[in-house]
Structure 1
Amino acid sequence: MTRIELLGVPVDVCRPENLEEEIMKILEKPGAKQIVFLSVWDLLKARNKKKDFGDCLRNADLILPISKSILKGARFLRLDVPVRYNPFNAVIQILNTLDHHYKTLYMLGARKKTLQKAEHNVHDTFRNLRIVGRYVGYFPKNAEENVVQAIFKASPSLVIVSDGIKEKNLWAYHRRDKFSSSIFLYYKDCLGIFAGRIRRVSEKTFDAGKEIWNEIGHSPLRIFLIFPYMRYKILLLFYKLFRRGKKNNESGIYHVESLDKNKKEEPASNNIN
């Protein structure tokens, strides 16, 4: 697996055939771990130095892009082009990995009936995956300590964080010192889809990169995302012309700072897969 920086934000290049191996490597690490599904809107948010989402990404163990624009941006800047993941399919692949290795799962989020239905369906689908706990979303502040303690005691292999958790990815990041193990993965619609209460985006729509139109259909105000998208395009052009890094005059390769703490700076590949 390779980690690149796109507009100063980390993104991982992880092939689907290597995902199971990476998940098992992450599980072997001590402490709380995190997998993040990264949209182009998240990428722009991570560039805001006044917020800690950027720190959350830099500490994440696996960052999988879900927006087609991220791949186009990496290609435009001649970086290694990451693989785009459909969040639901990625969750299924991760659960299949855990099921194959007899691991455990904790489900956090959604309303009571949705959570119960999701648990039932997951249990029927992944027979070797043991569900060691669940807790609804939208819980009051005074219940948080009980939630954290329950996850700590259960020490699940994976915690799926879904709808009803206000801090989203930052919920696990802000409390990472309170957990002894576990991978945390936030995906808002996950439990709703498992319960059959939310219809997921079709493969055709997702592959075409047109899922934003589904979101606009449910929330017309999201049409104004055109403005941050224009900003993203301008930033790409700026980085193309003035990006930091030392350019090799012969090969045209930029040397990008590695985010691997155990490695020194390495040249980014100019191979486009």
Structure 2
Amino acid sequence: MRGRGFLPAVGRVLSRIPGAIGPAHRNGTGVCRSCSADSSSGETRVEVASGTLKIKKERVIGIPLDNISPEELDDALAGLLKKEGVCPVVFLSLWELLKARRNAEFRGWVESASLVIPTSQGILRGARFLRKKVSHRYYPFDVVIRLLRILEEKGLSLYVLGGRLPYLQQAEKNLKQTFPGLKLVGRYPGYYPLQVEGDILLAMRKASPHCLLLGPGLKGRERWAQRKRESLPPSIVIYSPETFDIISGKRIRPSREAVEKGHEYVPELFRHPWRVFRGVVYLYYLLLLLVYRIRKQ
């Protein structure tokens, strides 16, 4: 449980760009001023110093996704800081894409998200098959690190909720060491008794963080934030247990080569071998793609 795997991983992310899977790019455009979503036009509009950034929204098997290029990523993230209320950033794998179709509560969270970022090659392939413009996927850790750098540069704040206490303490240490300008205004471990949840939410609102990073140990997992939305402070809200585990040193970030080849899931198969049976679900996904393609024609 050490941070030595986290620090080099951060260096690799920040030495490239904003986390897109594929060739590196670097963005030198202006600072975002405001952000608004227009579901009717299928766009997320972000005001930047050089004009208005329009992020194209597409739907793959009925679920919304944002097509964010590497050049747009920093502006898209920074733009959320000027948006009012709770601003969810959702990382969507293929499994979660299918989950959003069958689980109304989770779908509500995805539909209301400020940004929905695909993480799976399968989603990109499906989008191409449906002739949708979703051409970039991102590894969640890379996006979170870019956001933390933006927060640090602006002197803004973060609250971390989740994980066992020893890992949370290590995560706090690594964050302070790597992002000394970032204001860590609070933290609390996951797996807490339900009777203290009200106090945790109250502490969050009093801390008023600009970003809330959620990790393991929350009842309902990614649906926890949807259920507690009315009690959360206005902030960017990200649920990413794998990012928390990398920051805390519990997990090693997959190599760049593994991520680019789509093999980042392989270590998970060793930890959770039952996931191999998800292959049946992928066949269902292929069937859905065929149905949507036929409907479109």
TM-score, normalising length: structure 2: 0.79
Aligned mate of 1:35, from 71, 86, 89: 89
Other-structure match for 1:75: 128
Matched residue SS, 2:192: coil
CA positional deviation for 1:241: 1.1
**CA distance in 1 between partners of 2:87 and 2:135 (Å):** 21
Residues 123-182 of structure 1: CA distance to partner in whole angstroms, max 9, x if unpaired? 111111100000000001111101111111111011110011132222112111113411
Equivalent AA in structure 2 for residue 7 of structure 1: I
Answer whether contact 1:38 1:66 (CA < 8 A) is retained: yes
Other-structure match for 1:137: 190
Residues 16-61 of structure 1: CA distance to partner in whole angstroms, max 9, x if unpaired? 222221222212122111001100000001111x531111101000
CA positional deviation for 1:210: 1.8
Other-structure match for 2:275: 222
Matched residue SS, 1:234: helix
Other-structure match for 1:190: 243
Matched residue SS, 2:265: helix
Other-structure match for 2:295: 242
Other-structure match for 1:19: 73
Question: In the TM superposition, what are the counterparts of 1:150-169 in structure 2 within 5 Å?
Answer: 150-169=203-222
CA positional deviation for 1:82: 3.4
Other-structure match for 1:108: 161
Equivalent AA in structure 2 for residue 133 of structure 1: G
**CA distance in 2 between partners of 1:180 and 1:148 (Å):** 8
Aligned-pair identity in percent equals 37
Answer whether contact 2:66 2:134 (CA < 8 A) is retained: no
**CA distance in 2 between partners of 1:16 and 1:181 (Å):** 26
Equivalent AA in structure 1 for residue 257 of structure 2: K
Other-structure match for 1:205: 258
- Long gaps (5+) in structure 1: 248-273
Root-mean-square deviation (Å): 1.3
Answer whether contact 1:12 1:82 (CA < 8 A) is retained: no
